[in-house]
């Protein structure tokens, strides 16, 4: 694979990095994290003005069509910045779902507002007890003369408290898998807000006979398209996590050079050098897996695509745990305090292992993929 970046891709990465470095410093982020809202609508609008919320929207729909590599680069910078705003949830996952599944009229209705940051959409798909199998849905959409009646529950929907639109997956009474656009303030929705382990905002959603018009449904039987959306979302999450790994590794190396013991920088101790060398090996393996997951987003073989991306998610999950734990240990007790960004990185890495399927679940998918070859 050739992952040298062209001028446009490099400019996209540089723009994102400069913005986050100047507008999203550690102190500002801590204030947002501790606030009631947990994010900044002003920052979100600025991301829209920079065009970063339109990177996965085709040019025909007013986007910049950066493709999987462009998404990877921006997600990597977003991860390095530990962004609390719903970049992955709205600008990548929900936006891609609309691009791949929605009708022309639905795309024209929602994509411009999502690209500008005026609206936020999230995919409400995961359900308690369903695990990584996205076809196991307890949520039901019953057809009637007026449209549909939606009932069921969704678990830990990232950034649901700030969203205007929910894209809700449900099993339709004809047996097909449907995706429905539901206004966040629709009657019959109960939202139970929560914070994830890394401080991001999420919610459990209950739908009790929510009335939907017929045109609220996106596409027909969306099983294959939704699988593609989820796979590419996992690839973007891997890229975001690689950015976190880059940040925590650099912070650890810098600390080892500045922290002195017995009058000598601890980074000069051979035992600690061996640890950091092992961290670097894991880091470079994670980079390769990020590239692999990005490349596989365009694979039309659903089984091969899912196996490769699951393999990448599993290996990056192992790297996240190893590098995160080593970084905290090398910092000592201070590594778990909120005064150092290493603790914030560690929590984000821990959340990665649990989000969109655990490391063990993706290892099992990869194993089944190898057996199928």
Query: CATH assignment of 223-372, given 1.10.287.70, 3.40.50.620, 3.90.1580.10, 1.20.140.10?
Result: 1.20.140.10
Cα–Cα separations (whole angstroms), residue 180 to 126, 131, 147, 151: 14, 21, 11, 12
Place of tokens 């699988």: 227
Lowest mean pLDDT among 4-13, 95-104, 145-154, 192-201: 4-13
Sequential DSSP letters for 290-324:
HHHHHHHTT-S-HHHHHHHHHHHHHHHHHHHHHHH
Residue 258 binned pLDDT confidence (cut-offs 50, 70, 90)? confident
Q: What is the pTM of this model?
A: 0.94
Which CATH number applies to 123-218?
2.40.110.10
Tell me the range of 24-28, 143-147, 244-248 where mean pLDDT is highest.
Answer: 244-248
Tell which residue, 206, 205, 226, 218, has the closest CA to residue 135: 226
Look-up of token digits 């890495």: 349
pLDDT of 195: 95
H runs (alpha helix) in 57-94: 67-80
Which long-range CB contacts under 8 A does 327-333 form with residues at least 24 apart? 327/248, 327/249, 327/251, 327/252, 327/279, 330/252, 330/255, 330/256, 330/266, 330/272, 330/275, 330/276, 331/252, 331/255
Backbone φ, ψ for residue 69 (5° rounding)? -70, -45
What are the Cα distances from residue 89, in Å, to 160, 165, 221, 233, 276?
Answer: 9, 12, 22, 9, 33
Each residue of 338-357: pLDDT tens digit?
888 999 999 999 999 999 99
Confidence class for position 104, pLDDT limits 50, 70, 90: very high
- Rounded distance, CA 308 to CA 235, Å? 10
pLDDT tens across 186-243, in order? 999 999 999 999 999 999 999 999 999 999 999 888 989 999 999 999 999 999 999 9
Show the tokens assigned to 129. Answer: 């007890």
Q: What is the mean pLDDT of the chain?
A: 92
pLDDT at 263: 77
Helices 341-354, 302-331: crossing angle, 10 deg rounding = 150
pLDDT tens-digit map of 276-329: 899 999 999 999 999 999 999 999 899 999 999 999 999 999 999 999 999 999
Judged against a pLDDT cut of 80, whether residue 134 lies above it is answered with no
Q: What is the rounded CA–CA span in Å between residue 119 and residue 290?
A: 29
Residue 168 β-bridge partners: 124, 180
Residues listed for the chain: 373
CA angle 176, 179, 184 (to 5 degrees): 145
241, 283 Cβ separation under 8 angstroms = no
Helices 7-23 and 41-49, interaxial angle, to 10°?
160
Query: Residues 297, 273: contact at Cβ < 8 Å?
Result: no
Give pLDDT, residue 146. 86
Give the C-alpha distances (Å, rounded to integers) separating 287 from 77, 245, 256. Answer: 14, 10, 23
Q: Whole-angstrom Cα distance, residue 101 to residue 267? A: 52
Give the Cα separation of 84 and 200 in Å (integer). 6
Cβ-based neighbour number of residue 99 at 10 Å = 19
pLDDT at 372 over 70: no
Of the candidates 182, 180, 184, which has an alpha carbon nearest to the alpha carbon of residue 217? Answer: 180
Residue 369, pLDDT score: 77
Query: Domain 7-119 maps to which CATH number in 1.10.10.10, 3.65.10.10, 3.40.50.970, 1.10.540.10?
Result: 1.10.540.10
Q: How far apart are CA 103 and CA 229, in angstroms?
A: 16
- Using the structure block, give the residue that is written with the tokens 């999502």: 114
Question: What's the rounded Cα separation, in Å, for the pair 137 and 128?
Answer: 10
Structural domain boundaries in the chain: 7-119, 123-218, 223-372
What proportion of the chain, given as a percentage, has pLDDT over 90?
78
């Amino acid at each position: 694979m050739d992952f040298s970046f062209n001028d446009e891709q490099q400019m996209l990465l540089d723009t994102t990095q400069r913005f986050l470095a100047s507008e999203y410093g550690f102190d500002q982020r801590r204030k947002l994290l501790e606030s009631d809202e947990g994010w900044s609508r002003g920052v979100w609008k600025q991301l829209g003005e920079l065009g970063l919320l339109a990177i996965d929207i085709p040019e025909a729909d007013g986007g910049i069509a950066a493709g999987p590599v462009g998404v990877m680069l921006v997600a990597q910078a977003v991860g390095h910045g530990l962004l609390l705003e719903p970049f992955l949830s709205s600008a990548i996952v929900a936006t891609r779902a609309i691009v791949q599944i929605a009708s022309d009229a639905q795309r024209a209705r929602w994509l411009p507002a999502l690209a500008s940051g005026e609206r936020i959409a999230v995919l409400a798909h995961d359900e308690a007890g369903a695990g990584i199998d996205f076809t196991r849905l307890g949520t039901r959409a019953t057809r009637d003369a007026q449209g549909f009646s939606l009932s069921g529950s969704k678990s830990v929907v990232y950034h649901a408290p700030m969203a205007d639109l929910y894209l809700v997956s449900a099993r339709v009474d004809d047996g097909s898998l449907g995706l429905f656009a539901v206004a966040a303030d629709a009657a019959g929705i109960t939202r139970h807000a929560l914070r994830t382990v890394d401080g991001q905002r999420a919610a459990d959603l209950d739908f009790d006979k929510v009335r939907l018009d017929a045109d609220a449904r996106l596409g027909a039987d969306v099983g294959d398209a939704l699988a593609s959306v989820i796979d590419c979302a996992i690839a973007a999450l891997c890229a975001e996590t690689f950015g976190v790994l880059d940040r925590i590794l650099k912070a650890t190396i810098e600390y080892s050079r500045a922290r002195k013991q017995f009058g000598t920088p601890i980074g000069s101790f051979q035992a600690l050098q061996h640890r950091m060398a092992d961290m670097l090996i894991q880091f470079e393996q994670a980079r390769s897996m990020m590239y692999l997951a990005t490349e596989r987003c365009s694979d039309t073989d659903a089984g091969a695509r899912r196996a490769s991306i699951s393999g990448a998610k599993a290996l990056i999950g192992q790297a996240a745990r190893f590098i995160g734990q080593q970084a905290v240990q090398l910092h000592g007790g201070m590594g778990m305090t909120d005064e150092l960004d290493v603790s914030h990185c560690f929590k984000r890495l821990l959340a990665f292992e649990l989000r969109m399927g655990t490391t063990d679940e993706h290892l099992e998918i990869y194993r089944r993929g190898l057996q199928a070859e």
